[in-house]
C-alpha cells in the first residue's frame, strides 16, 4: 500500500511539472508571436497646436513641431501642406529611424493683421494624416508717443 501511495505522489508531481512546462511554452510562443508583428513607423508629436499668443505685425512667425518615431520601422514624411499660402511648412526629407526625433518648422507671414487659425497637414508612411494647428492674434505695433515741442515764449516773471 505504501508503494502505491508513493507511486501516486510521484505521478502527480510528474504531471504537475509537465503542465508547468506546457504553460511556459505557450507564453514563449505568445512573445515570439508579438515579435513577429509587422514593423511599422509611428509618428508621435509632443504638441499638435502652437499658440503664438498676441504678437505684432512683422514679428517672428516661426513655430516648431517636434515629433518622434515611436514605431519599429523608418518613418518617412511624404508631404506637409497648409490650409493657406501664408503658412509654409518645412519638413525633414530623410527617413527618421525608430526612436529618433525630428522637427517640422512652420513659417507664418505676420504681415497680416488679425486672428491666426491655420492647419498644417502631415502625410507619412505611418498611416493616418496628422493635422497640426497654429493659433494666435496679430495686431499693429503701438506707436511711440513723442512729446510735442512747446512753442510758447519764455515768460519772464519780472
CA distance 22 to 2: 31
User: In residues, how long is the chain?
Assistant: 158
Say what the pLDDT of residue 20 is: 74
CA 73/CA 98 separation, integer angstroms: 6
115-141 per-position pLDDT tens digit:
999 999 999 999 999 999 999 999 998
Confidence (pTM):
0.68
What is the assigned CATH class of domain 43-139?
mainly beta
Per-residue pLDDT tens digits of the chain, which is 158 residues long: 677 666 667 767 676 767 677 766 666 555 555 566 679 999 999 999 999 999 999 999 999 999 999 999 999 999 999 998 999 999 999 999 999 999 999 999 999 899 999 999 999 999 999 999 999 999 998 887 666 665 555 555 55
C-alpha cell at 148: 510735442
Amino acid at each position: 500500500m505504501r508503494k502505491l501511495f508513493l507511486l501516486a505522489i510521484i505521478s502527480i508531481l510528474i504531471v504537475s511539472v509537465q503542465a508547468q512546462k506546457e504553460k511556459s511554452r505557450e507564453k514563449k510562443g505568445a512573445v515570439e508571436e508579438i515579435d513577429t508583428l509587422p514593423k511599422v513607423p509611428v509618428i508621435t508629436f509632443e504638441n499638435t497646436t502652437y499658440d503664438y499668443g498676441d504678437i505684432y505685425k512683422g514679428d517672428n512667425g516661426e513655430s516648431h513641431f517636434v515629433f518622434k518615431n515611436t514605431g519599429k520601422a523608418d518613418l518617412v514624411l511624404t508631404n506637409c501642406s497648409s490650409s493657406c499660402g501664408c503658412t509654409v511648412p518645412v519638413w525633414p526629407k530623410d527617413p527618421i529611424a525608430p526612436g529618433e526625433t525630428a522637427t517640422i518648422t512652420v513659417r507664418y507671414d505676420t504681415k497680416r493683421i488679425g486672428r491666426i487659425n491655420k492647419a498644417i497637414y502631415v502625410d507619412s508612411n505611418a498611416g493616418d494624416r496628422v493635422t497640426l494647428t497654429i493659433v494666435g492674434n496679430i495686431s499693429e505695433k503701438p506707436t511711440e508717443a513723442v512729446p510735442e515741442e512747446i512753442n510758447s515764449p519764455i515768460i519772464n516773471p519780472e
